[in-house]
Copies of this chain bind each other. A is one copy, B any other.
Amino acid sequence: MVTIKDLAKESCVSVATVSRVLNSSGYASRDVKRRVLEAAAKLDYKPNEVARALNTSRSNIVGVLVPDITNPYFPKVIRGIEDAAIRNNYRVIIGNTDHDAEKEMKYLEIFRQNNCAGIISATWSVSREHRADSRPLVLLDRVVENHISIESDNLKGGRLQAEHLIESGADKVLVVKGSSDYSSFNNRALGAEESLKAHKTGYDTLPYAHLEQMPDEARENFMLKFGGIICPNDVTACKVLKFLATRNIPVPGRVKVVGYDNLDFSEYVHPGLTTIEQPAYDLGSNAFDLLMALAAGEAVESRIMDVKLIRRQST
């Protein structure tokens, strides 16, 4: 491994000077600068990030916490973070928490042990434990008092879902709910209910978990009471679509279905899934930008990103 010492020897200056030239901090004469830079190029010098992190107590690694990378919503978000990170010469360590507070804490500890520069978290119980830690933190898709967060406009998304169904002529609507642990799911349902009430459209709500455990016969009968179904995300919507197809219930003829997320494969199911697009990738890259601003001590504000309706054949 070629170190700063090799450069010092090669260019006949001290390591301090080399460091200063490389980081453009402090003074250096034209000639010395040239010599150091040439030596660095000649020896193909790359600074050791570990040594740097040790010295400055701050690595260029950011920790990212997600419930489960296997959930198809997250890869895009992560890719957004990763790309932004690399552009800024940062790396990303991902932790899957499985909604488990203990795993979260374990990862937080790991991030600390690695002198991570900051944390982006899409899971829920962090904030309390995080208080002991002074590392910058950006919350993704969940809002907690006194923390910077970034999310998409879930209320609006919910409203769009409902309005679209109403416009498409659905008489009575079923609002399928996601896990109530997440503010994002709650807000989507809230937005939808708000619109349905405003338009005086009849509706019912039901957590997906309940729907799933109903026997097929009962589930079919229950669903047939509605002309439109609002789902908390596309995965759920696809399961609903699948069920309806299996029971030979025409979509959108008999019942219309609208999802949320606009996952890649929502385009490929049949009928194509009408859904709300959230800018998953941008959510990730903006989260990273916020984190950097935070780390730089800038005044930053939480951000809400816009969503839009994607019309397809399921409505």
Closest B residue to A266 by beta carbon equals: B265
Which residues of chain B are within 8 angstroms of A76 by Cβ–Cβ distance? Answer: 70
A238 with B78, Cβ < 8 A, contacts A93-B61, A113-B48, A113-B49 known: no
For the complex formed, measure the closest distance between the CB of A6 and the CB atoms of chain B, giving whole angstroms. Answer: 15
Compute how far the CA of A76 lies from the CA of B239 in the bound complex, rounded to whole angstroms: 20
Q: Is A169 an interface position by the 8 A CB rule?
A: no
Residues of A242-266 at the interface with B, using a CB-CB cut-off of 8 Å, are 242, 245-246, 264-265
Compute how far the CA of A95 lies from the CA of B238 in the bound complex, rounded to whole angstroms: 30
- Give which listed residue, B91, B114, B242, contacts A110 with CB less than 8 A: B91
Which bucket holds chain A's interface residue count? 35 or more
- Give which listed residue, B92, B109, B238, B272, contacts A265 with CB less than 8 A: B238
Chain A window 57-88, contacts with chain B (Cβ cutoff 8 Å), 1 for yes, 0 for no = 10101000000111010111011001100000
Q: Is A198 an interface position by the 8 A CB rule?
A: no
Which residues of chain B are within 8 angstroms of A83 by Cβ–Cβ distance? Answer: 96
Which residues of chain B are within 8 angstroms of A72 by Cβ–Cβ distance? Answer: 72, 75, 264-265
Residues of A268-302 at the interface with B, using a CB-CB cut-off of 8 Å, are 268-270, 272
For the complex formed, measure the closest distance between the CB of A261 and the CB atoms of chain B, giving whole angstroms. Answer: 12
Which residues of chain B are within 8 angstroms of A11 by Cβ–Cβ distance? Answer: none
A51 with B54, Cβ < 8 A, contacts A75-B70, A93-B91, A241-B268 known: yes
Compute how far the CA of A241 lies from the CA of B267 in the bound complex, rounded to whole angstroms: 12
Which residues of chain B are within 8 angstroms of A245 by Cβ–Cβ distance? Answer: 270
Q: Is A34 an interface position by the 8 A CB rule?
A: no
Which residues of chain B are within 8 angstroms of A74 by Cβ–Cβ distance? Answer: 75
Chain A window 38-60, contacts with chain B (Cβ cutoff 8 Å), 1 for yes, 0 for no = 00000000111111011001010
Compute how far the CA of A79 lies from the CA of B78 in the bound complex, rounded to whole angstroms: 13
Q: Is A94 an interface position by the 8 A CB rule?
A: yes
Compute how far the CA of A201 lies from the CA of B78 in the bound complex, rounded to whole angstroms: 45
Compute how far the CA of A21 lies from the CA of B109 in the bound complex, rounded to whole angstroms: 21
Q: Is A112 an interface position by the 8 A CB rule?
A: yes
For the complex formed, measure the closest distance between the CB of A47 and the CB atoms of chain B, giving whole angstroms. Answer: 7
Given A72-B75, A235-B268: 16 more A-B contacts, CB < 8 Å: A47-B113, A48-B115, A50-B54, A50-B113, A50-B114, A51-B54, A70-B75, A70-B79, A72-B264, A75-B75, A82-B95, A91-B93, A93-B93, A238-B265, A265-B265, A269-B269
> Footprint of B on A, CB under 8 Å?
1, 46-51, 53-54, 57, 59, 61, 68-70, 72, 74-76, 78-79, 82-83, 91-96, 109-110, 112-115, 235, 238-239, 241-242, 245-246, 264-265, 267-270, 272
| 7 pairs, A vs B, C-beta closer than 8 Å | A46-B109, A50-B59, A94-B94, A242-B268, A242-B270, A242-B272, A270-B270
